[in-house]
Structure 1
Amino acid sequence: MVKLLKVHGSENKFFILDQTLLEKALTDKELIALAIDLCTNILGGADGLLVVGTSDSSLGKMRVINADGSEAKMCGNGLRTISRYLSEKYQLTNFKVETMESDLIVSKAEDFYPGVPAFSVEISPISFQKKDLPFSYKNLNEMIDQKVPEFIPEQTFSAVAVPNPHLISFVPDISQLELGDLGQKLNGKNKYFPEGVNVSFSQILDNNSLFVQTYERGVGFTNACGTGMSATSLIFAMLHPDQFDPEEDITVYNPGGLVKTHITLNKQNKEQSQIKLIGNATFTHEINIDETDLHKDSLNNIVVNETAEEVAYQDFVKTISD
């Protein structure tokens, strides 16, 4: 039998599959089929499948298969849950995890609340160059605090890859209708972001305090997007220095809870800035399945055991809203 986990970071939900424990690793075709089935039909679904593999340079490797079967370069919320999984598997608290574009430093952080373990993860590399997003608009090489009336009149937008591509706009109030419309437009066939883009709207609540909602490429609306909150924090620090304290963490609220980010700006070279994302890594269910069924994407004979961690997380969320 093989054990999968149902997990979440700020209610951004995933399944974890450790390929290193299998007699025979799943092929990419099998992984895509499994991801779509799990994220559609099991335990209320999820935003993606996180795949653990071996690494020559780090403690382990993470791949991210989205709910639609596409593959993401990185996932900040997912990386926290993978970090916890590897931490408990190898009894280590500081190490690196290989992702598609870089090996990232991760570490166990102080629990957010009793029964709510947390991890800190590096978010990088950072690029504002159009080739790395990619995007195309009026021959711009970078898009920072730019009015784009073709998107939404009077709003300004900033684009950054971390390394997932993000388009960010600060607004007085978040319109889910406008966010959803723009997210769908820029993740369908379009001339601005030909490979699609994660779109985030953010409200500045106070000094070092934000609310972020994201329409995620390959997923749609999510409770939270780790790289989206990280990218938004970086743009906030750049554009709103009067409300940014570099000595303190930024609190980023989202529909699923909150995370902390820490931004170290490099004013000479903004792409050498540093981002840390700190948040919960919650395991809600254990799923046991025969490896043969896993290869066949046959999910009719799974055995599910629920943990008590979601209760603790919801107790934590109540402290945010109180």
Structure 2
Amino acid sequence: MPIPFIKIEGLGNDYIYVDKGALARRTCGLGSLARAISNRRRGVGSDGLIVVERLGTGSAFMRIFNSDGSEAKFCGNGLRGMALFMRAAYKSKHKKFDIFTRWSDYNIEVVKAQAGSAVVRADLGSPSFDCREIGIAGDVGNCLGIRIEVRGARRTLHCVALSNPHAVILVENFDFDWRAEGLLIEKNRLFKNGVNVMFTRVESKNRISVVPWERGSGATAACGSGAAAATVITGLLGLTRGDVRVVMPGGALVTRWDIEDNLIHQVGQTKIAFSGLYTP
């Protein structure tokens, strides 16, 4: 049977949202469905699939699958998109939503809404610098300042977990094959389960530029959790402070890391691209 879906994008980082009930009679796994529906030539086309289970008028459970079928623990842009999905699919009138995953729970709030789009504020929780949570193999001692060689270049990785593992690399420019480097770092044996790679250039105390390479999806237009990771690392190194505008290929987010309470807050645009029926 055809599967109803809504495609929602945040700064060009696009996901297909499906209600869990519409998949009740499916025989194939969600990973297989994610690969098929995300295919940009033969499917709907997206960076991944988000399966939603409604818990109440203002709450839901979400599972996130990358375009390669692997399950992700978290996605910042996908989380913000949940506000639009709840309103469009379930006709919710709420502005605030409680969103749950298998690993954590989050609060999101619609700051400003227009037809089919919204500015959404999300509380992303706390960053972790635990090497075990990041999934670093061996005893490196510290997840900050890890030096590796990639394609003949020496790179320094500053690693942090925001549910998903991230490696932030400070660069002076993006005039190199960062896609090739991103893939090699993602697959590096240093990381047991792979890693998201955020190449980051500091522009000022309140502005950074980031090009994301996401584990399981590759180069993407934007990465909400990656923007948060870059904000945390540059803040920790004393390079940024307060509200930081994170500019990515698909647009910009404003991210703030409150060091005292160790919480990350993020505000950004999200938009419904289109809806339809997908026939596997």
In the superposition, the TM-score normalised over structure 2's length comes to: 0.88
The alpha carbon displacement at 1:48 in A equals: 0.1
Partners of 2:255 and 2:238 lie apart in 1 by 16
Partners of 1:78 and 1:42 lie apart in 2 by 22
1:93 maps to a residue whose letter is: K
Comparing both structures, which one devotes a greater share of its residues to helix?
1
Q: What value does the CA root-mean-square deviation take over the aligned residues?
A: 2.4
Equivalence map 1:239-250=2 (5 Å): 239-241=237-239, 243-244=240-241, 246=242, 249-250=243-244
- Which residue is equivalent to 1:219? 217
1:148-179 Cα offsets, whole Å, 9 max, x none, are 143475543210010100000111102451x2
Partners of 1:39 and 1:117 lie apart in 2 by 23
Out of 108, 111, 121, the residue aligned to residue 109 of structure 1 is 111
Partners of 1:2 and 1:180 lie apart in 2 by 33
Comparing both structures, which one devotes a greater share of its residues to strand?
2
1:171 maps to a residue whose letter is: V
8 A contact 1:102–1:125 mirrored in 2: no
Partners of 1:187 and 1:115 lie apart in 2 by 34
The alpha carbon displacement at 1:255 in A equals: 0.4
Partners of 1:25 and 1:64 lie apart in 2 by 20
1:283-307 Cα offsets, whole Å, 9 max, x none, are 0111135xxx4xxx2xxxxxxxxxx
1:45 maps to a residue whose letter is: G
Partners of 2:255 and 2:87 lie apart in 1 by 21
The alpha carbon displacement at 1:23 in A equals: 7.7
- Which residue is equivalent to 2:156? 156
Partners of 1:261 and 1:124 lie apart in 2 by 12
Partners of 1:49 and 1:115 lie apart in 2 by 19
Structure with bigger gyration radius? 1
The alpha carbon displacement at 1:181 in A equals: 2.6
1:182-221 Cα offsets, whole Å, 9 max, x none, are 3222333x42012100011111112211111111100110
- Please give the secondary structure, in 2, of the residue aligned with 1:128: coil
- Please give the secondary structure, in 2, of the residue aligned with 1:132: helix
Equivalence map 1:235-314=2 (5 Å): 235-241=233-239, 243-244=240-241, 246=242, 249-266=243-260, 273-289=262-278, 293=279, 297=280
2:255 maps to a residue whose letter is: T
Out of 202, 205, 211, the residue aligned to residue 204 of structure 1 is 202
- Which residue is equivalent to 1:45? 45
In the superposition, the TM-score normalised over structure 1's length comes to: 0.78
- Quick check: 4-13 or 122-131, which moved more? 122-131
- Which residue is equivalent to 1:140? 140
8 A contact 1:124–1:275 mirrored in 2: yes
- Which residue is equivalent to 1:194? 192
- Structure 2: gaps of 5 or more residues: none
- Quick check: 121-130 or 210-219, which moved more? 121-130
8 A contact 2:84–2:117 mirrored in 1: no
- Aligned-residue identity in percent: 27
Partners of 1:216 and 1:3 lie apart in 2 by 27
- Which residue is equivalent to 2:173? 173
8 A contact 2:6–2:85 mirrored in 1: no
- Quick check: 150-159 or 231-240, which moved more? 150-159
1:258-308 Cα offsets, whole Å, 9 max, x none, are 111122013xxxxx511112111110111135xxx4xxx2xxxxxxxxxxx
Aligned pair 1:35/2:1, yes or no?
Answer: no
